[in-house]
Amino acid sequence: MGSEGGRNIVDWRNWLVNGFYLSPIITLQEYLQHCIVLAASLALAAGDVAVLAISLRFISLIRFGVLSVNMAASPKIARAMARADHQERDRQLRAAALLKAPPAAIAAAVVILLAGPILSLFGPEYMQGGRALAWFAAIPLASALLGPNHLLLNISGARGWVFGISLAAVAALFAAVPAAGGVEPAAMIAALVYIAWELALFVVVRTKLGIDATVLAIFGRRR
């Protein structure tokens, strides 16, 4: 009863609801590059969109590292929060931050300093995207420094907050990026929208859960 081909489908309604609530954050986390390119393509020239796409490709490598660390740490963080073991929770947050924050900071610094030469490898016409690439470097850096706030909210059951803030960020991307009028402004707006999203989640986590998951805070607490 409630199974098909050996698979349990009794809770399919709950899975649909959970998927609905997770859709905006998945859009921002997994498909951010595609969202920015799609939004830019609504107004910018094809050459400008190509520059943005190439720049985002480089940043996706750094983002992959940050997201991978967050996903690997989430089960241990969830177990600690379920037991209300704050010391273990902070220990896991600290371990994750140590794995992602220093590499992300170094990689972002290298990208910012060498943005122009990096893009010139694809041709001189891509040199104009140097500043765009530098702006995009702030995206994984913000994720690494501010902590996995979306994970903390999802683990605690505050999915409504994550849904609302993430949906607003996606809407802001599609509203503001096409109106940017150029490669660098589009990259700047996209980066600032993403950083604002991270900051909004951070504020909710501090307010609702009383947790400060930023790198400075978790390393400043007693071990």
Per-residue DSSP letters for 1-28? --EETTEE-TTHHHHHHHHHHHHHHHHH
- Which pLDDT tens digit goes with each residue over 15-55? 787 788 888 988 998 899 999 999 999 999 999 999 999 99
Least confident of 37-41, 62-66, 122-126: 122-126
Reported as a pLDDT band with limits 50, 70 and 90, residue 6 is low
Query: Per residue in 129-145, pLDDT tens?
Result: 899 999 999 999 999 99
Q: Give 91-113 pLDDT, tens digit per residue.
A: 999 999 999 999 999 999 999 99
- Three-state secondary structure string covering 169-181: HHHHHHHHHHHCC
Mean pLDDT, residues 66-78: 93
Helix (H, G, I), strand (E, B) or coil at 107: helix
Residue 71, token pair as written in the block? 């996903």
| HSE toward the beta carbon, residue 82, CA cutoff 13 A | 8
8 pairs with which residues across the strands? 3
Residue 200 has pLDDT above 90, yes or no: yes
- Where does the chain have alpha helices with state H? 12-30, 32-41, 46-82, 86-113, 115-120, 130-136, 138-146, 149-156, 159-176, 183-204, 215-220
HSE (side-chain half, CA atoms, 13 Å) at 131: 9
Its pTM stands at 0.88
- Non-local (6+) Cβ contacts of 57 within 8 A are 33
